[in-house]
Amino acid sequence: MTRSPCSAMVSAVAVLTLGAVAPAPAAADPSPAPCSGADAAVALVHDLASTPDVWSDLRADLTGAGFCTVPVTWGEPAGTDVPVPLAGLRGVDAGARDLADALDELCGQRSQCTVDVVAHGAGSLVTQRYL
């Protein structure tokens, strides 16, 4: 079986395109703790192959109603993975660790912390695994 030069070029263009549309790694939030003045927070856990952006409308509604909302990104590709602009790709166990890290950061500076979790699709499996 011979491979045409055109197929190799298409593969190279696909790899370059994926690299061009992939987001830069998220920078750490400079604030010490989100929701530091709130008694309770709502963590929003997205579905498989998604991003926290899917929560923008609900987040705006909850924030408008006085809730502190924290979208949780889980399962982002690791540094050695092919960069894609989606999260939720590394599996439930990795997602549970990401959720644990996000909740530790959220509650780390408080003696008492209450977090309600709203999860969608595979995000509910991540939440269940965390629990």
Average pLDDT, stretch 32-47? 75
- When computed from its CA atoms, the radius of gyration of the chain, rounded to whole angstroms, is 18
The residue type found at 118 is V
Q: Is the pLDDT of residue 50 over 50?
A: yes
Neighbouring CB atoms inside 10 A of 45's CB total 29
116/13: higher pLDDT: 116
Q: Which of 70-79, 80-89, 100-109 has the lowest mean pLDDT?
A: 80-89
For residues 79 and 61, what is the distance between their CA atoms, to the nearest angstrom?
34
pTM of the model: 0.66
Q: DSSP letters along 7-44, please?
A: HHHHHHHHHHHHHHHSPPPPPPPSSSSTTTT-SEEEEE
For residues 103 and 11, what is the distance between their CA atoms, to the nearest angstrom?
40
Tokens representing 22? 């992939």
Q: Is the pLDDT of residue 80 over 90?
A: no
**40 DSSP β-pair partners:** 114
Average pLDDT, stretch 1-22? 38
For residues 125 and 93, what is the distance between their CA atoms, to the nearest angstrom?
9
Q: Which of 12-21, 27-36, 100-109 has the lowest mean pLDDT?
A: 12-21
Question: What pLDDT shows up at residue 128?
Answer: 94
Mention every residue, 6+ apart, whose C-beta is less than 8 A from residue 99: 43, 45, 72, 74, 126, 127, 130
- Percentage above 90 pLDDT, the chain: 31
